[in-house]
Structure 1
Amino acid sequence: MTPRTLARALGMALDAVLAFRLRTLFVSLAVAFGIAALTLIVTAVDGANRMAYQIVDMFGPDAALIFGGNIKKRAVGERTLTLTAEDARRIRRSLPGVYLVTPMRAKFDVTARYEGRTAAGLAAVGALEDYTKAWNWPLAEGRDFTPEDVERAAKVCLLGDKPARALFGDESPVGRTIFLNNVPLLVVGKLAYRGFSGGGGGREVDDRVILPLPTLTNRFNLDRKFFVGLRVKFSDATRMESQVAALKAMLRELHHLPPEADDDFTVLTADEVLAFLAMLKGGLMVFLGVTAVAALAVGGFVLANLFALSVTERSSEIGLKRALGARSSAVLAQFLFEAVILTLAGGILGLFLGLSLGQLLTRLEILTIQFSWKVFIMALGGSLVVGLVFGLKPARQAASLDPVEALRGGG
């Protein structure tokens, strides 16, 4: 076929698409739903990858988190407060390779006030000196806690980004005094914005106020013996497997656990966090993948059936074109062009639907999406494949019609 013949076939295909508007609507919508699901898959997986790297960056490749209780084998009514101040001291002093141990203690749903402004539902987190170093969390401004702040239970704090903005807007909070549940605290630093959930119960990590640990336990009357968890950092991140094994062995000895007993604690590292996120991502891909394939298949069958009916209805048109000298290849090309135009239109619509739905789910904190150009390419590529695969049979059916029989059928 010559380029001129192809151009004429394309022009006639565009005219047919505009003429049969109801068919155009049904086919485009059917394909759009499948492409929207495909768009969600790609953007959600990319978003999950970005989130995984952010979490691991915050977690730190050289760190381990120890939680009280066995999360994987927890029985009903089992104690979860199993980590003590003595555990923290022994790990810090006796475990080779450890250079930092930070107890984890928090009080939730506290309210901060400053000159008539309030920030409610915050987490008050207890910390020792060098909080930002312990949690790989840089300061936007100000300073970190010092050993003296911790030793004398100073009434100072670090503000997360959300309460800082709620109380001070764009102004600097450093040097101001806020009230946290009526406890006056001098703001000495502001934490950099992190921007994702993960602070427990779906809580945003930026929605917190950091206090010296003795200040938190004294002012809020918290248990001084047990901790919810411990964060341990090692000097050599390449030996994490052996160091974590030594950490578990020490904790079992400190807790006097017999060989046959399960751990009464849980140790998490960055590798385990990545493995867990990979499992979630795999489940998400399977679920959305099946949905996308099913939706695209439905769109393809709608296309094939409507085009098969269209061939029957347009038999006189096809017969007239053949009688006037049009080759079967030109008829084939016209119907394939029609199918591809319809599916590409559905693909563009589905791309915008998928991205819009992804943005909505991100705002509702159900999914996190990440747009890339491969989404655009895959959406249009998937639409093109659907058009060619499901449009080929009706197009061949139209091209194979006998001109005389077609004209008789149309009459």
Structure 2
Amino acid sequence: MAWLALLAHKARSLFVVAAVAMGIAALTVIVASVDGARRKALEIVDFFGPDAVLVLGGDIENRPVGQRVNTLTWSDARAIARSLPGAYAVLPMRSVRAVTLKYGNRNYETATVVGATEDYAQTWNWPLAEGRDLSADDIKYGAKVALIGDVPARELFGEASPVGRTVLVKNLPVQIIGRLAYRGFTGGGSDTTVDDRLIMPISTLTQRFNLNRSYFRGLRVRFHNPELIDAHKDNLRALLRHEHKLEPTQPDDFTLLSASEILKFLTAFTGGLVAFLGVTAGVAILVGGFVLANLMFLGVSERRVEIGLRKAVGATSTAIMVQFLSEAVYLTLVGAVFGIGLGVALGESLSRLGMLELRLSPKIFVLSLAAALAIALVFGLRPARKAAALDPIEALRGGGE
């Protein structure tokens, strides 16, 4: 009887389904995006490594007016490698953005060309799919060699091996000696993937791109005993402040980043995302619930004669209430199914635009159905109780009038 009643009022039923679907779609997006953000955070932390600290020139957190960002020197790198307890790898780095690569008749503008010292892949814990890493001789002699990321490798060579081939890097012929394994996530505060890069000896990069050879933008330091990373950071900060001759009252002219800071930032970002999308989803679900309640109250008023006749022939108040609650449950469950589909489609669109990264899981389906049932019970109970409480004689008399 509940299904027949819903089919008899198709337009009203469709309106309720649409309203509920909007709320469930918002819920689907928030759950999938939060799971995606959490997965992204773990991927980035895993890529960064629990035993590493990234040092950047300048105070990127406070950004004082007129600050210098070229504050890290080769003297700093040598002091860290020679004097810092627990440090076993120091990797200075510079980079140039948006550089055109050419191979044959194919051109590709890579997001980043990185200049680094030997053992880049090893220091970043980044496996090589093929070939070898940068060597000390490559750096010493400014060799025209490079490691290539997965994205430019596919753009220039397709499925063929790039190792041993020569690429023009801004008209500089460079031989590819290794291909970095695919990592598959964005980084660096942009929508570009970490796989979109080329790595050259830092000596070659500074010479060929006419960069200042005294400074570099950042360096990566790896330590023994990662459980002591906080102590390692304190020692590193003290050493750099001594090297830069900073007074106790002067702020750092560099920034230290470890996996814990990255995780804190991403957790805060995820929390803000949850709050924003949670309010949106909550408002949408409340709207769907109010639409359901209002249309059910209207339905009770219009179906007084039906309710009176059913009671007159023996239907109990409980049966009437169960029928109206069943109608509410059916509508919200159908709305939930459509809402999940709408949310997935919306999420995929946002993901393609680079605004969100989604992770679909069975949890979305379970939470959506639970939310749909909650809407039906919370907003459908009062109209159902009102229908069950109608006096059959008064209902029939009211219908006759």
TM-score range with shorter-chain normalisation?
Answer: over 0.9
* Rounded Cα–Cα distance in structure 1 between residues aligned with 2:151 and 2:188: 13
Quick one: which amino acid aligns to residue 165 of structure 2?
R
SS at match of 2:65: coil
* Rounded Cα–Cα distance in structure 1 between residues aligned with 2:378 and 2:112: 56
Per-residue CA shift, 1:206-262, capped at 9, x if unaligned? 111111111111111111111111111101101111110000001101111000111
Residue aligning to 1:97: 86
Residue aligning to 1:59: 48
Q: 1:375 aligns with which of 346, 364, 375?
A: 364
* Rounded Cα–Cα distance in structure 1 between residues aligned with 2:54 and 2:163: 30
Quick one: which amino acid aligns to residue 114 of structure 1?
Y
Quick one: which amino acid aligns to residue 299 of structure 1?
G
Residue aligning to 2:187: 198
| Superposition deviation, residue 405 in structure 1 | 1.0
| Superposition deviation, residue 200 in structure 1 | 5.0
| Superposition deviation, residue 36 in structure 1 | 1.1
Residue aligning to 2:382: 393
Residue aligning to 1:236: 225
Per-residue CA shift, 1:47-78, capped at 9, x if unaligned? 01110111001110000011111122222221
For residues 88-237 of structure 1, what are the structure 2 equivalents within 5 Å? 88-199=77-188, 201-237=190-226
Correspondence 1:280 to 2:269: yes
* Rounded Cα–Cα distance in structure 1 between residues aligned with 2:367 and 2:3: 24
Correspondence 1:32 to 2:21: yes
User: TM-score, normalised on structure 1?
Assistant: 0.96
Structure 1 384/155 Cα, relative in aligned 2: closer, same or farther at 3 Å? same
* Rounded Cα–Cα distance in structure 2 between residues aligned with 1:127 and 1:75: 28
| Superposition deviation, residue 330 in structure 1 | 1.0
* Rounded Cα–Cα distance in structure 1 between residues aligned with 2:192 and 2:329: 46
SS at match of 2:178: strand
Correspondence 1:302 to 2:291: yes
Structure 1 202/81 Cα, relative in aligned 2: closer, same or farther at 3 Å? farther
CA contact (8 A) 2:110 2:152 kept: no
Residue aligning to 1:384: 373
Quick one: which amino acid aligns to residue 34 of structure 1?
G
CA contact (8 A) 2:23 2:284 kept: yes
Quick one: which amino acid aligns to residue 152 of structure 1?
Y
Correspondence 1:408 to 2:397: yes
| Superposition deviation, residue 201 in structure 1 | 3.9
* Rounded Cα–Cα distance in structure 2 between residues aligned with 1:340 and 1:157: 62
CA contact (8 A) 2:45 2:262 kept: yes
* Rounded Cα–Cα distance in structure 2 between residues aligned with 1:382 and 1:110: 50
SS at match of 1:367: coil
SS at match of 2:109: strand
Quick one: which amino acid aligns to residue 358 of structure 1?
G
Correspondence 1:264 to 2:246: no
Correspondence 1:48 to 2:37: yes
| Superposition deviation, residue 23 in structure 1 | 1.2
* Rounded Cα–Cα distance in structure 2 between residues aligned with 1:340 and 1:397: 17
Runs (4+) off by over 6 Å: none
For residues 359-370 of structure 1, what are the structure 2 equivalents within 5 Å? 359-370=348-359
Correspondence 1:333 to 2:328: no
| Superposition deviation, residue 338 in structure 1 | 0.3
* Rounded Cα–Cα distance in structure 2 between residues aligned with 1:39 and 1:245: 43
Quick one: which amino acid aligns to residue 141 of structure 2?
R
Task: Calculate the aligned-residue CA RMSD, in Å.
Answer: 1.0
Name structure 2 gaps, 5 residues minimum: none
| Superposition deviation, residue 199 in structure 1 | 3.5
Q: More deviation in 140-149 or 333-342?
A: 140-149
CA contact (8 A) 2:93 2:117 kept: no
| Superposition deviation, residue 121 in structure 1 | 4.0
* Rounded Cα–Cα distance in structure 2 between residues aligned with 1:77 and 1:259: 20
Identical amino acids, percent of aligned pairs: 56
* Rounded Cα–Cα distance in structure 2 between residues aligned with 1:293 and 1:220: 53
SS at match of 2:176: strand
Paired residues in the alignment total 400
| Superposition deviation, residue 388 in structure 1 | 1.0
CA contact (8 A) 2:20 2:339 kept: yes
CA contact (8 A) 2:110 2:198 kept: no
* Rounded Cα–Cα distance in structure 2 between residues aligned with 1:321 and 1:201: 64
* Rounded Cα–Cα distance in structure 2 between residues aligned with 1:234 and 1:199: 22
Q: 1:320 aligns with which of 309, 331, 343?
A: 309
Q: 1:20 aligns with which of 6, 9, 16?
A: 9
